[in-house]
Chain A
Amino acid sequence: MARKVLTLAEVRDGSLRNVSFEAIAAAKTIAEGGEVVSVLVGDQVQAHANELIYRGADRVVVIEHPNLKFYTSDGYSQALKAVIDKEQPEGIVFGHTALGKDLSPKLAIKLDAGLVSDVIAVEEAGGNIVFTRPIYSGKAFEKKIVTDGIIFATVRPNNIAPLERDESRTGSVEALAVEIKDLRAIVKEVVRKTAEGVDLTEAKVIVAGGRGVKSAEGFKPLKELAEVLGGAVGASRGACDAGYCDYSLQIGQTGKVVTPDLYIACGISGAIQHLAGMSNSKVIVAINKDPEANIFKVADYGIVGDLFEVVPLLTEEFKKLKVHS
């Protein structure tokens, strides 16, 4: 059954987040041959429209308004509701990001719809669109279908493979004028804590440090390892609480949920709240001096030892590898 499916594209620091492309890929599966329309919302975002076409959108609708400069649930829901009313889609896909998490339930109510959140896989099976999502802090999974109304889902970043970028794809880009008004919550200020350009949720390699790193200085060898691997540095709550690094690096239930190809946990014990944010990583390496540490239970490879000895050696080995290849 062909369906028209809308996706929401997200712009951060002047670029499209990868999850925008992953949402398009998920939408293609849901559309079963129907049209995929990406919606681009913001202040000045039109320039990104073509990229969405190259990534598989059949058409792009752009809604620009000064009141959309900062995300607010009131502003964005007015914009989205206007496109939805016009396009009458049978499916909607957002990223399961801070924005998507905040906005999707509000729209679901406006549409009197169900919503499947934090999806890591979508497939067509037995005549249904079947979503897989983690439950119980990542210790189990469920498969869900929508039984009534519009098929609405949010997808966890870095889990659904985007389509191959193809500049020969074409599609129309339309502007939609929407009056955005009566915002009941106003963003007065954004305090940036995250380094520009590094989006942990999109990183292919993450080197994460915990309380075992012992100081802000102790993160240096981890940064060097991340650099050689072209990856990003993350942290446990323990390291953040101890003041070794900023909360913006925190991975876990309260922090970022990540799914890199390679996750190297250094001096992290492996509390359930931390695992909830990284246990879906493709390959997990644990470096911990306590052989009983819980992190070894989810690790594919473990080294029992002092991270201050192991991490610099690892960096050296990877450097050698780089020179040889």
Chain B
Amino acid sequence: MNIFVLMKRTFDTEEKISIVNGKINEEGAEFIINPYDEYAIEEAIQVRDKHGGEVTVVTVGSEEAEKELRTALAMGCDKAVLINIDDDVEEQDQYTTAKVLAEYLKDKNPDLILAGNVAIDGGSGQVGPRVAELLGIPYVTTITKLDIADGGKVTVVRDVEGDEEIIETSLPLLVTAQQGLNEPRYPSLPGIMKAKKKPLDELELDDLDLDEEDVEAKTKTIEVFLPPKREAGKILQGEIADQVKELVQLLRSEAKVV
């Protein structure tokens, strides 16, 4: 089976966030594989181990994403591709990213493509479905279970705001991973050693026969800001019974929510 994983390198949002020159400050910040993409990688490896084939992990990003690609290889992916469009494209949005990914994938005959359901930084959840539609294949988002029968029939469990849908579909297919799909493995030491020798290709816009205009963003960020500093919350003091009385008063007269 020819399996692809779409992986995004993301800012670790557990970290403190600050803004410098109108942009999120990335200086010294921790970057990680988008957590939902870890589920996608794990699932891809499991599907390959069961059905045979190869897993290629693909990212659109800068050179720094090599680190996360190596981690994916250490987990067990077979090949990695870094599509670096930093020098070619100034403004990038989900339209751009999806177009670039689809252009790369269109002649690769993918059987199965896995993505995360949402990136924890950009947070739109657009890229997976966009790529599927560009390739003309079906997709199922926020999946928690994937079963591929011999012959290509696929049964998927989809999380829909807490309810479950049992969906029948077929390959080729794109799915996006929801938490609960699996428990992503940690790269093993031998895995890390092997990863160093696995192929990691780097492509640019030119290699995909795309021009800057083909992938020009349709939206633009005009401002990034932090939420207004919450005044330090009021930690109530005294006997618990008195605190409770005070809280009810505050919710009524100060916050006016009850």
Q: Do A and B bind each other?
A: yes
Question: B130 — which chain A residues lie within 8 A by C-beta?
Answer: 105-106, 108-109
Q: Output the least CB separation between A214 and chain B (Å).
A: 18
**B-contacting 9-mer, from A20-28, A83-91, A94-102, A173-181:** A94-102
Contacting A at CB under 8 A, from B6-47, are: 11, 13-14, 17, 19, 24
**B-contacting 9-mer, from A38-46, A53-61, A136-144, A164-172:** A136-144
Given A117-B124, A301-B234, A190-B165 contact (CB < 8 Å): yes
Interchain CB contact under 8 A, B221 and A115: no
Whether, in the assembled complex, B164 has its beta carbon less than 8 Å from a beta carbon of chain A, the answer is yes
Given A102-B141, A109-B98, A262-B257, A140-B225 contact (CB < 8 Å): yes
Whether, in the assembled complex, A317 has its beta carbon less than 8 Å from a beta carbon of chain B, the answer is yes
Q: How far is the CA of A255 from the CA of B142 in the complex (A)?
A: 11
Question: A106 — which chain B residues lie within 8 A by C-beta?
Answer: 129-130, 132-133, 139
Interchain CB contact under 8 A, B133 and A144: no
Q: How far is the CA of A185 from the CA of B171 in the complex (A)?
A: 10
Interchain CB contact under 8 A, B219 and A146: yes
Given A185-B168, A188-B166, A105-B129 contact (CB < 8 Å): yes
Interchain CB contact under 8 A, A139 and B223: no
Interchain CB contact under 8 A, A314 and B244: yes
Contacting B at CB under 8 A, from A165-218, are: 184-194, 201, 205
Given A147-B219, A300-B234, A282-B257 contact (CB < 8 Å): yes
Against B, the Cβ 8 Å flags (1 = close, 0 = not) of A92-132 are 00000110011011101110011111100000000010100
Interchain CB contact under 8 A, B17 and A136: yes
Interchain CB contact under 8 A, A109 and B227: no
Minimum CB distance partner of B236 in chain A? A303
Minimum CB distance partner of B137 in chain A? A184
Whether, in the assembled complex, B105 has its beta carbon less than 8 Å from a beta carbon of chain A, the answer is no
Whether, in the assembled complex, B62 has its beta carbon less than 8 Å from a beta carbon of chain A, the answer is no
Majority secondary structure of chain A interface residues (helix, strand, loop or mixed) = mixed
Contacts across chains A and B counted by CB atoms under 8 Å: 249
Interchain CB contact under 8 A, A313 and B240: yes
Interchain CB contact under 8 A, B257 and A118: no
Q: Output the least CB separation between A76 and chain B (Å).
A: 12
Out of B24, B129, B161, B221, which one reaches A248, CB within 8 Å? B161
Given A299-B233, A300-B230, A114-B217 contact (CB < 8 Å): yes
Task: Name the residue in A148, A186, A194, A254 with the highest tally of chain B Cβ atoms < 10 Å from its Cβ.
Answer: A254
Question: B245 — which chain A residues lie within 8 A by C-beta?
Answer: 317
Q: Can you list 9 contacts pairing A with B, beta carbon distance less than 8 Å?
A: A98-B142, A109-B98, A109-B133, A115-B218, A135-B24, A135-B123, A194-B161, A304-B235, A313-B244
Known: A105-B129, A262-B255. 9 other contacts (CB 8 A): A187-B165, A193-B163, A276-B13, A300-B233, A301-B234, A309-B240, A313-B244, A314-B248, A321-B258
Which positions in A face B, CB cutoff 8 Å? Answer: 70, 73-74, 97-98, 101-102, 104-106, 108-110, 113-118, 128, 130, 133-137, 139-149, 184-194, 201, 205, 229, 237, 246-250, 253-256, 261-262, 272, 276, 279, 282-286, 291, 296-305, 309-310, 313-314, 317-318, 321
Which positions in B face A, CB cutoff 8 Å? Answer: 11, 13-14, 17, 19, 24, 93-95, 98, 118, 120-130, 132-134, 138-142, 155-156, 159-170, 178-180, 216-227, 230, 233-236, 240-241, 243-245, 247-248, 250-252, 255, 257-258
The 6 closest A-B pairs by CB, nearest first: A114-B218, A248-B162, A184-B138, A105-B129, A185-B169, A137-B13
